[in-house]
Chains A and B, each alone.
Chain A
Amino acid sequence: MVTSNAWIWVAAFFTLGIYTFPFGDNPVFRFCESCFVGTAAGYMVTANWFNYIKPSLTKLTTGENYLLIIPFIVGLLIYTRYIRSISWLSRIAIAFTLGYGSGFILSVDFKPLFVTQVIATFKDLTTGAITPIDNVLLVLGVCVSMIYFFFTVEHKGAVGAAARAGRWVMMLALGAAFGSTVMARVSLFMGRVQFLLTDWLFLIK
């Protein structure tokens, strides 16, 4: 029993085609790779068109917001990069997005990602979540990890010892990250196998 839905066969072909790659490069993979690059580029355009550009264009042409003409011009300037004589104009589009992007980072990153994280490390050193020394370990762990990243101080003596301890703490953290990622990657594969077995081959329900 297999599905008679041609679309599912297409999806199954692409799935199996990509899976040939870990066993060696081959023309089937290369075919899938080309289809992937092509459809992804096409999707980028259509998704933006339907969800953003078209509705904005409507607002502009119906006169709801005439000011939108400015971002339309600025955004389209990016394409001047293909015309050598005026390619510098594309910098205006980049400058605008970068200005907004960097202003945004300066406005919203510092409090939650630095100040709040520092405050969250103000722990009562006499207790802990699981063992009684957890808070001491956490506070010292954060400090030594940061000390490892001192680049203008030589890693000698006390700083050197702290930096080495920092590397150990980070290795534990990175090991934990590796270990918990295994589950993520197996899930991805399972998702595809579940598709093949359920939707294509009807082997499981």
Chain B
Amino acid sequence: MGLIKPGLIATFLLELAFGVAIVVLISRARTGRKVPAIRKVAGLDALDEAIGRATEMGATVHFSPGIGDVSNAQTLAAFAILTHVAKMCAKYDTRLIQTNRNNVVYSITEEVVKQAYVDSGKADAFNPDDVRFISEDQFGYASGVCGIMNREKVRANILIGAFWAESLIFAEVGAQVGSIQIAGTANTHQIPFFIAACDYALLGEEIYAASAYLSREPVLIGCLIAQDWGKMIGVILILVGAISVTAGSTWLNTLLNK
């Protein structure tokens, strides 16, 4: 194995196996062959409930995909959920304000929302001014969103994507204006604030599961299954390794560090 840098051989092989699993599972899901079902994530029904309530009150729905860029997996998961939310809003004629921090993300969400309205047969109802770029600065974005939540009668607040410190600013201001809030992020340090301040919180990877569940997209489903396998292998490695170390052998440590 002189081809691979020493110290990275085990890493390379494991990663390669994971990659192959992803590709195989995605193509299986695409060709419609049987794949395991994905369990429903709690909080997804709440999405419909929140939009429904905003509709009854004649109020606005706000959606933020977080502040990550397009190379962040969470941002892409947010696009799939945004599609669902935008379709619901189009169906019920509920106003949707979608805010952005990243310029490239902004150009994509604009297309995502527009397409959702077109797909729902409500192309005329799409208002380009309601998909908004606020500021590239993290707290500049936060201050802008706070203003919108106060001024635009937001009663359903959906925050899904990669969030940092602004998470609690959005969630608390949302709670103060009386919104139903559904939030989710895989950024571990921000999850506690969503749990504390929102009505429903998706934990970590649950946002990927939610996007796969809602979109039924073979790419997302295949990936999720491969990730499950990866986690199972992780659990097995940890148990075997811990038992070996307890028995006084570090063979697995050595092997994985090769």
Touching in the complex, A and B, CB below 8 A? yes
Chain B residue at smallest Cβ distance from A178: B192
CB neighbours (8 Å) of B241 from chain A are 118-119, 121-122
CB neighbours (8 Å) of B196 from chain A are 178
CB neighbours (8 Å) of A123 from chain B are 242, 245-246
Report if B191 contacts A (CB, 8 A). Answer: yes
Report if B217 contacts A (CB, 8 A). Answer: no
Dominant SS at the A interface? Answer: helix
Contact residue among A32, A125, A143, A150 (Cβ-Cβ distance under 8 Å from B243):
A125
Q: Separation in Å of the A83 CB from the closest CB of chain B?
A: 13
Query: Hey, what's the 0/1 contact readout for B54-94 against A, CB within 8 Å counting as 1?
Result: 00000000000000001100000000000000000000000
Report if B256 contacts A (CB, 8 A). Answer: yes
Chain A residue at smallest Cβ distance from B134: A37
Report if A25 contacts B (CB, 8 A). Answer: yes
Query: Hey, what's the 0/1 contact readout for A1-43 against B, CB within 8 Å counting as 1?
Result: 0000000000000000010010001000110110011001101
CB neighbours (8 Å) of B209 from chain A are 151
Q: Separation in Å of the B121 CB from the closest CB of chain A?
A: 25
CB neighbours (8 Å) of A187 from chain B are none
**In the docked arrangement, what's the CA distance between A33 and B14, Å?**
48
**In the docked arrangement, what's the CA distance between A154 and B228, Å?**
12
Query: Hey, what's the 0/1 contact readout for A129-150 against B, CB within 8 Å counting as 1?
Result: 0000001000100110011111
Are B192 and A181 in touch, CB under 8 angstroms?
yes
CB neighbours (8 Å) of A90 from chain B are 107
Q: Given A94-B70, A152-B224, A155-B39, check contact A125 B242 (CB 8 Å).
A: yes
**Residues B175-217 near A (CB distance < 8 A):** 188-189, 191-193, 195-196, 203-206, 209, 212
Report if B225 contacts A (CB, 8 A). Answer: yes
Query: Hey, what's the 0/1 contact readout for A155-191 against B, CB within 8 Å counting as 1?
Result: 1000000000000001001110110010000000000
Residues in B lying within 8 Å of A, measured CB to CB = 8, 10-11, 14-15, 36-39, 41, 70-71, 104, 107, 134-137, 139-140, 143-144, 146-147, 150-151, 188-189, 191-193, 195-196, 203-206, 209, 212, 224-225, 227-228, 231-232, 234-235, 237-239, 241-246, 250, 252-253, 256-257
7 nearest CB pairs, A to B: A40-B137, A122-B241, A152-B36, A101-B71, A174-B192, A25-B150, A178-B192
